[in-house]
């Protein structure tokens, strides 16, 4: 990583840290929860070597990027605005945007709202969900509560300010390793679980209770990786990332002008066999060819979980580079 460039740009009212390598057309990477630009450590050099300018952001609230105090500063409008503004601040007029986990809905909706800026989109682990309207008096928190019933749900668990942050920050190493292992494919391969976790859990338990810490690190994750993530969380804390979830109920109203619209740019979707954590259901995946008219690739990675670009870096790089090459032919 010694030949990678670190920088900071002033965009959308905050300072955004990024890492880049290479020259050529811009490919902009957006990470999810609870990660950092480092989540793309395997993709940055591969994409750069293929003739692109690979830039991975520390998203709002994470790492060395600004962490605004207000919960309201983490709405989808702010998150999309950061990515759009970053393209201009990097001296470019357009980009291919790539997103994983929370970075995926940010990327999907950036492409939906600004097709003039984002010429193509690739997402991992969270499929495109077209904008929709809710009945009067309903919001997404209420919908999630109805679906959960007597159970708790991780997105609902995040709603109380301060609660999840205190829980996770009490032992950052345990929390980070627990998140990484518990929704990876390894927890199935090791026989700890028999199926992927969809984020629901008993109402009398905490979210931390659901996280399993393995006796041995999975092959795709090193102690240096865990140490890096822990160091970044020591810098930023969990509050900014959790605040993304506290704005979920605003998403339908933010996207209301786009109900009935879709993404017409070339798109690519990659997902793990055992990943159920963020709406990655069979029905949602089966619907993608209908809701994305220019979907150019849909790939399932057998045995993989949620951390797809880290669990299966070579396979993800191959799929991404093949798709990028086809775009530019």
Which active-site residues does the annotation give?
101, 306
Please count the other Cβ atoms lying within 10 Å of the Cβ belonging to residue 287.
Answer: 15
Contact 317, 44 (CB under 8 A): no
Contact 110, 256 (CB under 8 A): no
Contact assessment for residue 261 and residue 129, using Cβ atoms and an 8 Å cutoff:
no
Contact at 8 Å (CB) between 238 and 169?
yes
For residues 26 and 28, give the distance between their C-alpha atoms in angstroms, rounded to a whole number: 6
- Residue 119 in 3-state DSSP? strand
Residue 155 · residue 199 · CB < 8 Å: yes
Helix locations, the chain, DSSP H: 43-49, 76-89, 103-113, 140-148, 154-157, 163-169, 172-182, 186-189, 223-236, 239-245, 251-254, 282-291, 308-311, 313-328
Could you give the C-alpha distances from 163 to 19, 146, 147, in angstroms and in order?
A: 31, 22, 22
Q: How far apart are CA 227 and CA 255, in angstroms?
A: 38
- Segment holding 265, helix H or strand E: none
What is d(CA 226, CA 258) in angstroms, rounded to the nearest whole number?
39
């Amino acid at each position: 990583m010694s030949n990678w460039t670190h920088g900071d740009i002033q965009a959308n009212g905050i300072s955004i840290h990024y890492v880049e390598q290479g020259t050529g057309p811009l490919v902009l990477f957006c990470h999810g929860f609870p990660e950092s630009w480092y989540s793309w450590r395997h993709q940055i050099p591969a994409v750069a070597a293929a003739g692109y300018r690979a830039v991975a952001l520390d998203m709002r609230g994470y790492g060395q990027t600004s962490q605004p105090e207000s919960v309201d500063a983490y709405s989808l409008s702010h998150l999309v605005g950061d990515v759009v503004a970053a393209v201009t601040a990097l001296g470019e007029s357009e980009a291919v945007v790539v997103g994983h986990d929370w970075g995926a809905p940010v990327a999907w909706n950036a492409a939906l709202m600004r097709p003039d800026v984002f010429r193509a989109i690739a997402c991992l682990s969270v499929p495109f969900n077209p904008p929709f309207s809710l009945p009067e008096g309903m919001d997404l928190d209420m919908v999630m509560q109805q679906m959960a019933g007597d159970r708790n749900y991780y997105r609902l668990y995040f709603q109380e300010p301060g609660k999840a942050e205190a829980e996770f920050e009490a032992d950052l190493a345990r929390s980070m390793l627990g998140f990484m292992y518990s929704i990876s494919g390894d927890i199935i391969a090791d026989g700890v679980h028999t199926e992927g976790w969809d984020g629901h859990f008993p109402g009398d338990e905490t979210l931390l209770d659901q996280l399993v810490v393995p006796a041995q690190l999975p092959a795709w994750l090193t102690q240096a990786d865990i140490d890096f993530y822990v160091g970044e969380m020591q810098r930023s804390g969990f509050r900014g990332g959790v605040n993304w979830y506290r704005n979920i109920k605003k998403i339908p109203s933010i996207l209301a002008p786009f109900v009935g619209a879709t993404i017409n740019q070339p798109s690519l979707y990659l997902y793990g066999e055992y990943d159920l954590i963020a709406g990655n259901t069979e029905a949602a995946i089966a619907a993608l060819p209908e809701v994305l008219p220019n979907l150019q690739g849909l790939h399932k990675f057998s045995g993989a979980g949620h951390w797809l670009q880290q669990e299966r870096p070579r396979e993800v790089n191959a799929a991404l580079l093949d798709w990028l090459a086809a775009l530019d032919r």
